[in-house]
Structure 1
Amino acid sequence: MKKTTTLKLYSRLLGFIKPYWQTIIPMLLALVVAAGMEPLMPALLKPLVDDTLIAKDPQSITQIPLLLLLVFVVKGFAEYASKVLSEWIAHKAIVDIRYAMFKKLNRLPLGTYQKYSSGKLTSKITYDVLQVGNTLSEAWIIVIRDTLIIMGLLGYLFYTSWQLTLMILLIGPVIGFIIDRASRMMRGSSTEMQNSMGHMTQALEEGILAHKDIKIYGAEAYEENKFHSVADALRKHTMAVIKVSAANVPLVQVLAAAALAAVLYVISLMSAQNLFTPGELIAFIAAMAMIFEPIRRLTNINETIQKGMAAAESIFEILDLPDEKDTGTKTLAGISHNIRFDNVNFRYHPRSKYIIHNLSLDFPINKTTALVGESGSGKTTIANLLARFFRVSDGAIFINEQNINDYSLSSLRAHIAFVSQDVVLFNDTIRANIAYGLSDIDEKDIIDAAKASHSWDFIRSLPEGLDTIIGDKGSNLSGGQKQRIAIARAFLKNAPILIMDEATSALDNQSESMVQQAIDKLRENRTVIIIAHRLSTIESADQIIVLDQGQLVEKGTHEFLLSQEGSYANLYQKGSLDELTK
């Protein structure tokens, strides 16, 4: 991603807090009040010394302490209000940013997910947004408040002695140069931190998901070393930021202290010549000392800002990705004709090789077609093209004699149900998983779908029935139970097109028998595309398509293909059909 200036990035980030302007206004007023109290404190020191301590004025003895107390009370209330309001605004913005990112993820084309690991995407929504949140809550409050404080104190210093104040301001350009250099260095290191956090999240996610494989293959040491490597890379980039930040603040303070020492020397000479009253002298020194703390905070907050800007670049990289193209305007209303692939070609990138070559075939309406072929032959790609997860490179796919690109994505996909070997279930109730994506569904319809999928018996035996939480990815269910829940979901959707991607390949015989019964019922009166290598599924198909490197090799029924004594028949006779389709 092209580097963006801090000002442009911050301006774009502020767009997320713009909707909360009614809260921003009182927060800014609170900041102005809090900042306005700062120069009042040294200003009250002058009468405290000259009138109260030296002149012994009775009225000042009473008024000045009360005024000082009032200043601190008002300052305390204003700082409390600004802190609470700013955090409220920032956390609202964090929710909005995360929602915008999650919404964007749901609208990205499938190809984008192949470019980004799930760990990196997770890191962007969790870690990166948190860095931006710190920038929106802590950073801009400090920048606004402390800038106002510095301006107020400088105003008082100019009022007291403009000559001495100019001496202090001579170090301003030097400090600005140091801060700018530190900002550039920290931005680069912070960007590397974001990337390292993504790598670590990915390694952690893989370690958790693959814990069985790690144990069975004895790869604990390998995975531990890999994780340590990415975690240590994150540490190194973090230390690079810390080193710059740690050097930045004391260097600025040393320069400020040098200016302070010079000013104190001149003040001492002026005081000896009675050019300052004792109260003015103490008030000036106090205001000058007070100005260094907001300068220190502004210098220190630079680290938070640069981390936030690096995170903002990472976030906007995702938000600026193009959405899945949906140029279709027509509505698909039922399936009345065969699904037809007409001279379809497909490749992922213009320079990559074709996955599908000149493929022309029909999927008969309300019939079952099985796709077989070696890994990489294009079986799953055909299903992805039909659902328009990818667009064909050449040729066209027709439903009801209409190019599927002319249909809106929502209309097209509403007519497709999908059952896969890798069942996707959510850590929610069985009810919610069966009725996934549907609203206002009667419980009777859910139960009917559960009965049709042969899952009602085990569901009602659970203590909470349909309201049972199934755990992460359905961890509380067996493989066969998860498959039947997925089939129940397809029953409830009642789509006229059904795609089954090796839906029974990972089940034992007993589970397969029950799932197969459910699948046989689900296939009734639907146009079904099966990607499978279980012979029982393929034999019953109305049509079998044999693919090789994206091309049609053979087509026909099980009996017809056997009679042709081709590749299908040879593999069948050898009992090695599995090898063809793995």
Structure 2
Amino acid sequence: MKLKIDLRVKRALKYIKPYLGLSILSIVLASLAAATAASPIFIIKQVVNDVLMKKNYNMLIMINIAIILIFILKGFVFYYQAYVSAYISNKITFNVRQELFEHLQKLSMGYFAKTEVGELMARFYNDTEKFKAFIVLAFSSIVKLFTILIAVIAIFQMSWKLSIISLIFIPLLSKIVRTFTKKLYKTGGEIQKKIGIITTVIQENLSGIRVVKAFANEDYEIEKFRKINDENFNANIKNVKISSKVTPVVDFFNAVSLVIILMIGGVQVIKGEVDSGQFLAFLTALALLSDPLRVLTSNINKMTTNLSSVERVFEILDEIPEIREIETPITKEEIIGKVDIKDIYFKYDREYVLKNVNISGNPGEVVALVGQSGSGKTTLVNLIPRFYEVEKGEILVDGENIKNLEIKFLRKNIGIVPQETFLFSGTIRENIMYGKRDATFKEVKKAAESANAIEFIEKLPNGFDTEVGERGVLLSGGQKQRIAIARAILKNPKILILDEATSALDTESERLVQDALDKLMKNRTTFVIAHRLSTIINADKIVVMKNGEIQEVGTHKKLLEKRGMYKELYDKQFKN
């Protein structure tokens, strides 16, 4: 456990490297801050011996002036040290979040399929804040370390015997603190897990609030949230119980140390072995040593708790993308769009969900995939843009294995219109332009016309600049689908994937969307997943799937004549 923590700390502190100059400045300022904080040690001796004992008024004035100057210096030093350390910690947080976001964009779909969005959001926001707190506490601890160092040097100069007695408890304290640290590391991890679950519950509830209200399950959701919220509360209280024990333990040993010092030192003063000013200065140094020791202990506890968050951030950064490019991937001016799927096998876990699949699609052809839910249709089309990696076999585009193609190049030539359209918060124009970021308004408008979307867009108060709301909530299902089609038209892909794009629409919306899709499919290689067989009757090739295997391939007419599985599906849908 100790080695693991040390490696995480070492890795976290590497983020300071780009700000090494500012970090050195912070350390210099920290040493000055420590010196000003330790100044009472030296002042108290002068006050007692030179002012009170010798009644030296001039020395009294000089000491007062020195105190004012020291506190002015202290104010400036503490301000700039705090500013510099805060600047560094915030820049590090910015860099960590940026690196985290960039890495998330590189991860494969398989990672997102097995990781909850709420958990990722908790790590992205809460854990990165804890990462920042870890760095802030590290800088704060530097100041305390310098203060402790100066105080220790001072007490040894005054009386090495008393110093040894006062520091004799430190090894025991260190062992106690390490024990608490291990427990805090564990409870800190529990807290972050609970926060991740809370974020997931909230995210799911808000995304599905319509379903919640439709089933009148508000009370159930409240109770579910209360349960996980209570678990988070209990985890925090457990952490507080552990951390709260540290200070009383440290204070107790400090008190025992102080009693012993008072007894021994008091005797020395009475015998004349140590003068009063020196002894009071020694006690002042001990007092100054006590506070930074307590704060440093507290900082270590907090840093240990936050270390679990640092580790959770690194867990994502250490995640290796499943889909990776070869060293010199292939790009072309353009592609024709011929797709050959050869001897494909694929599994998510242990069992194969696709077995020995062979399909080809030529430019201008429509290949329809039909079959019951769970037959592997969506999984198959997700392999074409390399959302997942094939287990066995190969997928060729224009005769080239897609593993040899640059991923961005491949995906830029593939358009996808899913059943559940996702629109980003923003305007209609921005959502259509997602298909081509540098498109002109003329191109955007033309794409909207081709998608049968121009009529409803122009009726909106702000036309193309109308806000769609989060996930397009301000638009109807048919309107969102036509925006998605316009987005795909603007992209102008050679290969098109339609995943039950009309199954959730009413009759009128389906007619408009289907007409738009017919325009979109022209001169492209199109793979259509269809639930309603009426939409794929004119397909060039219909592929019937069951349990991840191809059962039949042919045109609508030939498959009906074959009187096989397709005929059964057709009769079920169209029987009176």
Are residues 1:546 and 2:544 paired?
yes
Alignment partner of 2:180 out of 176, 179, 182: 182
SS at match of 1:575: helix
Residue 338 of structure 1 corresponds to which residue in structure 2? Answer: 338
2:347 maps to amino acid: R
Residue 154 of structure 1 corresponds to which residue in structure 2? Answer: 152
Residue 208 of structure 2 corresponds to which residue in structure 1? Answer: 210
2:278 maps to amino acid: E
Are residues 1:241 and 2:239 paired?
yes
SS at match of 1:436: helix
8 A contact 1:345–1:393 mirrored in 2: yes
The verdict on how the C-alpha distance between 1:438 and 1:60 changes in structure 2, with shifts beyond 3 A counting, is: farther
> 1:576: Cα distance to partner?
5.5
> 1:293: Cα distance to partner?
0.6
Aligned pairs for 1:244-255 within 5 A: 244-255=242-253
Mind listing any 5+ residue stretches in structure 2 that lack a counterpart?
Answer: none
Task: For 2:482 and 2:337, locate their aligned partners in 1 and report how far apart those are by CA, in whole Å.
Answer: 29
SS at match of 2:369: strand
Aligned pairs for 1:355-394 within 5 A: 355-394=353-392
SS at match of 1:113: helix
Aligned pairs for 1:410-489 within 5 A: 410-436=408-434, 438-489=436-487
Residue 47 of structure 1 corresponds to which residue in structure 2? Answer: 46
Q: Deviations over 1:124-170 (max 9, x none)?
A: 11111111111111x11221110100110111111111110111110
Task: For 1:463 and 1:55, locate their aligned partners in 2 and report how far apart those are by CA, in whole Å.
Answer: 88
Count of aligned residue pairs for this structure pair: 573
Are residues 1:134 and 2:137 paired?
no
Task: For 1:154 and 1:255, locate their aligned partners in 2 and report how far apart those are by CA, in whole Å.
Answer: 17
8 A contact 1:39–1:153 mirrored in 2: yes
Residue 106 of structure 1 corresponds to which residue in structure 2? Answer: 105
Residue 267 of structure 1 corresponds to which residue in structure 2? Answer: 265
Q: Deviations over 1:496-518 (max 9, x none)?
A: 00101111111111211211111
1:130 maps to amino acid: E
Residue 515 of structure 2 corresponds to which residue in structure 1? Answer: 517
> 1:466: Cα distance to partner?
2.4
The verdict on how the C-alpha distance between 1:4 and 1:374 changes in structure 2, with shifts beyond 3 A counting, is: farther
Q: Deviations over 1:82-125 (max 9, x none)?
A: 11111111111111111111111111111111221111111111
Residue 221 of structure 2 corresponds to which residue in structure 1? Answer: 223
8 A contact 1:373–1:379 mirrored in 2: yes
8 A contact 2:337–2:525 mirrored in 1: no
The verdict on how the C-alpha distance between 1:163 and 1:574 changes in structure 2, with shifts beyond 3 A counting, is: closer
Task: For 1:344 and 1:572, locate their aligned partners in 2 and report how far apart those are by CA, in whole Å.
Answer: 27
1:25 maps to amino acid: I
Alignment partner of 2:527 out of 520, 529, 552: 529
Mind listing any 5+ residue stretches in structure 1 that lack a counterpart?
Answer: 578-582
8 A contact 1:142–1:297 mirrored in 2: no
Residue 317 of structure 1 corresponds to which residue in structure 2? Answer: 315
Are residues 1:347 and 2:347 paired?
yes
SS at match of 2:544: strand
Task: For 2:569 and 2:497, locate their aligned partners in 1 and report how far apart those are by CA, in whole Å.
Answer: 25
8 A contact 1:4–1:313 mirrored in 2: no
Task: For 1:295 and 1:7, locate their aligned partners in 2 and report how far apart those are by CA, in whole Å.
Answer: 21
Task: For 2:97 and 2:3, locate their aligned partners in 1 and report how far apart those are by CA, in whole Å.
Answer: 21
Residue 77 of structure 1 corresponds to which residue in structure 2? Answer: 76
Are residues 1:36 and 2:25 paired?
no
SS at match of 1:541: coil
Are residues 1:490 and 2:488 paired?
yes
Task: For 1:134 and 1:291, locate their aligned partners in 2 and report how far apart those are by CA, in whole Å.
Answer: 24
Residue 90 of structure 1 corresponds to which residue in structure 2? Answer: 89
Larger mean CA deviation between 328-337 and 100-109 belongs to: 328-337
Task: For 2:63 and 2:398, locate their aligned partners in 1 and report how far apart those are by CA, in whole Å.
Answer: 88
Are residues 1:194 and 2:192 paired?
yes
8 A contact 2:336–2:494 mirrored in 1: no
> 1:24: Cα distance to partner?
1.9
2:388 maps to amino acid: F
Task: For 2:294 and 2:235, locate their aligned partners in 1 and report how far apart those are by CA, in whole Å.
Answer: 24
Task: For 2:373 and 2:2, locate their aligned partners in 1 and report how far apart those are by CA, in whole Å.
Answer: 41
The verdict on how the C-alpha distance between 1:337 and 1:528 changes in structure 2, with shifts beyond 3 A counting, is: closer
> 1:4: Cα distance to partner?
5.4
Q: Deviations over 1:488-544 (max 9, x none)?
A: 110111010010111111111121121111111111111111112233421232221
1:135 maps to amino acid: F
Q: Deviations over 1:233-289 (max 9, x none)?
A: 111211111111000111011001100111011111111112232222221111111
8 A contact 2:369–2:530 mirrored in 1: yes
> 1:6: Cα distance to partner?
2.6
> Percentage identity across aligned positions?
34
Larger mean CA deviation between 380-389 and 203-212 belongs to: 203-212
The verdict on how the C-alpha distance between 1:38 and 1:3 changes in structure 2, with shifts beyond 3 A counting, is: closer
1:200 maps to amino acid: I
8 A contact 2:433–2:439 mirrored in 1: yes
TM-score, normalised relative to structure 1: 0.95
8 A contact 1:378–1:549 mirrored in 2: yes
8 A contact 2:337–2:524 mirrored in 1: no
* Consecutive aligned runs of 4 or more in structure 1 exceeding 6 Å deviation: none
SS at match of 1:334: coil
Task: For 1:382 and 1:3, locate their aligned partners in 2 and report how far apart those are by CA, in whole Å.
Answer: 46
Are residues 1:62 and 2:65 paired?
no
SS at match of 2:114: coil
SS at match of 1:151: helix
> 1:332: Cα distance to partner?
4.3
8 A contact 1:189–1:241 mirrored in 2: yes
Q: Deviations over 1:33-75 (max 9, x none)?
A: 1011122222011111222222122320210001011111111
Task: For 1:63 and 1:300, locate their aligned partners in 2 and report how far apart those are by CA, in whole Å.
Answer: 37
Residue 286 of structure 2 corresponds to which residue in structure 1? Answer: 288
SS at match of 2:434: coil
> 1:188: Cα distance to partner?
0.6
Task: For 2:345 and 2:534, locate their aligned partners in 1 and report how far apart those are by CA, in whole Å.
Answer: 31
TM-score, normalised relative to structure 2: 0.96
1:65 maps to amino acid: N
Larger mean CA deviation between 335-344 and 196-205 belongs to: 335-344
The verdict on how the C-alpha distance between 1:149 and 1:55 changes in structure 2, with shifts beyond 3 A counting, is: same
Task: For 2:438 and 2:337, locate their aligned partners in 1 and report how far apart those are by CA, in whole Å.
Answer: 31
8 A contact 1:119–1:199 mirrored in 2: yes
Task: For 2:104 and 2:554, locate their aligned partners in 1 and report how far apart those are by CA, in whole Å.
Answer: 40
Q: Superposition RMSD on alpha carbons, in Å?
A: 1.7
SS at match of 1:383: helix
> 1:472: Cα distance to partner?
0.6
SS at match of 2:351: coil
8 A contact 1:241–1:303 mirrored in 2: no
2:10 maps to amino acid: S
Residue 26 of structure 2 corresponds to which residue in structure 1? Answer: 27
> 1:294: Cα distance to partner?
0.4
SS at match of 1:405: helix
8 A contact 1:344–1:393 mirrored in 2: yes
Task: For 1:17 and 1:552, locate their aligned partners in 2 and report how far apart those are by CA, in whole Å.
Answer: 56
1:420 maps to amino acid: P
8 A contact 1:335–1:365 mirrored in 2: no
SS at match of 2:536: helix
Task: For 1:234 and 1:547, locate their aligned partners in 2 and report how far apart those are by CA, in whole Å.
Answer: 46
Q: Deviations over 1:349-395 (max 9, x none)?
A: 3xx11111111121122111111011111100111111111121111
8 A contact 1:38–1:153 mirrored in 2: no
> 1:485: Cα distance to partner?
1.0
